[in-house]
Chain A
Amino acid sequence: MISNGRYSLLFNALFTLFMVGPLVVVIGVSFTPTGYLEFPPSGLSLRWFAAILDNPDFIDAAWVSLKLGIASATVSTIVAVPAALAIGREKFSGREALQALFLSPLTVPTVVLGIAFLRLLSVLELNGTFVGLVLCHAIIITPFVLRLVLSSVVGMDRSIEKAAISLGASNWTVFRRITMPLIMPGIVGGWVLAFITSFDELTVTVFIVNPSTTTLPVRLFSHITQTTDPLIASVSTVVILFTVALMLLINRFYGLDRLLMGETK
């Protein structure tokens, strides 16, 4: 027991170190007063945070990413919820195929997806548009939503819905008053995971953006390819703080563990 506890402690410590280490470095670097990447920083300065304000293209890109994340997470949730309900509980032919189709973006290499989307968008004449980005991101992130919603659909006792029906509820009322609230942890969890995935997506997005719809990761990436000033560190720090704030907010109202497990009840 004791040695087991010790090993798991060690494992957890290593895991945390590898997860948190890079974040600490990035945050540290962002406070440097120098003009190059340095860790640990030789002093404390907000110089590079102020520099963000002088680079409106970063701010524009952040807005694009934010709007893109919200729009694509919402679109994919609207698609994934009915799909999860159908896949999770109906028995129809092609059920397996449908599930495989929805999860397929996970199995295709993202570079391949990027090229495919580029072609698709030019066929649809949506190349470089925001709508095109939303469409592509929604496709990439739907598997995440589907899996979380599916797990809460499958975990739900169907006789609860039957009870509601026997008490006189119509199908729509059952969905609104019973099914929806009970699978809500899966829906919210899926949405958040989808939002974060979209906000963070680079490989596919690089293929399909144009200068007016550049997302934050793409902007950062192109910045690194040109210079290596600590601006990228300060932008990253802002993103990290934003994500942490988002998580704290959700935890406050919802419980992170519940969300990530997609558990019902």
Chain B
Amino acid sequence: MSFLEIKALTKRFSETTAVEDFSLTVERGEFVSLLGPSGCGKTTTLQMIAGFEQPTSGSIILHGRNLAKIPARKRGLGIVFQTYALFPHMTVEQNVAFGLEMRGIPEPDRRQKVAAALDLVKLSHLAKRLPKAMSGGQRQRVALARALVIEPELLLLDEPLSNLDAKLREEMQLELRRIQQEAGVTTLLVTHDQSEAMALSDRIAVMQSGRLMQLGTPFDTYETPKSTFISNFLGKTNCLNARLVSTTGTASTLVINGIEVSGPSVNLLPGDVMASLRPERIDIVESSDGHTEAKVLERIFLGDQWLFRLETKLGELLVVRRNRGRREAEPGENVFIVWQPEHLQILPASRESA
């Protein structure tokens, strides 16, 4: 039996179904992200686990305990809210001590635990500050310390980094991962930021319109998305309308925009499909031998890499190249592109998931 088992969880509001038939199991100590676009039901799922929303149906079992009849305050979960939700009238120390106080932990013990939690998030020197005199990143850490100090069985994070600026967010990602591993706490993170989900999680659960679409490690989800929606949502990709002509045990043949292209073997029937090709899997070369011709439409310098928009016989393609400090093709220039057939992802052409 897994540590956390969510079974067929459904939540209907009067007009909308926010979460539908959502099932997920999480192992002890694991870090799982719920990833999906705005309004796909991530927060609602988290709120049901936390006990702030009643599920319409389905069950949540944590460490063998069915949470259905347990009120939020008795669930013993650590929650970090998007707005941090610190108690503004209490110092950092008092914020962190609150949960221990509620548990009736005696004073000397409490003080020691608070100190340890503040140490974990590296805020010991600010223990007497009020939250309003702190930066976003510091408040974030206070919120984490407050949630972790009660030694929760499960840590729930709702877009904890979305209020931070880009640079701080990257730093906090590393911090969050370190803290989570040091505390060894099972963690569920809600985010709509794919890079955050990939950087932090052991596994990612991709949600769309209240449903779980795909569950897997960041690498597997990125490399073998089940639909064009997921492939688009996790990083950039080139999606091309294609027709699957034939497929054997080792390879397949497709037609894209009238051009015959080979791809990996797939488990699909011949007919209309979607071909997805990641921009970083396409290489730009100078020699023509058998490679596809392309013309540079646009070129953007991103510091560590270049982003090209190319016109080809297959259609417009985005290509990403690592910046090697050399001259790169300029807009208007003709180049050739090449990719490995197995890097072409062949996906069902279902309209709904486009």
Q: Identify the A interface with B (CB < 8 A).
A: 157, 159-160, 162-170, 173, 177-178, 181-182, 265
Contact = CB atoms under 8 A, between A and B. Distances in A.
Nearest to B104: A168
Contacts, number: 61
Given A162-B50, A162-B52, A166-B78, 19 more contacts: A157-B85, A162-B72, A163-B85, A164-B87, A165-B52, A166-B51, A166-B73, A166-B75, A166-B77, A167-B99, A167-B150, A168-B73, A168-B99, A169-B73, A169-B98, A173-B102, A178-B87, A182-B88, A265-B132
A157 B84 CA distance: 10
A173 B87 CA distance: 13
Contact of A169 (B81, B102, B147): B102
B76 A168 contact: yes
B102 A160 contact: no
Contacts of A159: 81-83, 85
Contact-residue bracket for chain B: 20 to 34
Nearest to A161: B85
B79 interface: yes
Contact of A182 (B89, B103, B146): B89
Contacts of B102: 167-169, 173
B76 A162 contact: no
A91 to B, nearest CB: 11
A177 to B, nearest CB: 8
13 contacts: A159-B83, A159-B85, A160-B87, A163-B79, A163-B85, A163-B86, A166-B50, A166-B72, A166-B147, A167-B98, A168-B73, A169-B73, A169-B98
Contacts of A182: 88-89
B327 interface: no
Contacts of B51: 166
B102 to A, nearest CB: 4
B74 interface: yes
B76 to A, nearest CB: 7
Nearest to A173: B102
Contacts of A163: 79, 81, 85-87, 146
Contacts of B74: 168
Given A182-B89, A265-B88, A265-B132, A166 B79 contact: yes
A181 B89 contact: yes
A181 B130 CA distance: 15
Contacts of A160: 85-88
A184 to B, nearest CB: 9
Contacts of A166: 50-51, 72-73, 75, 77-79, 147
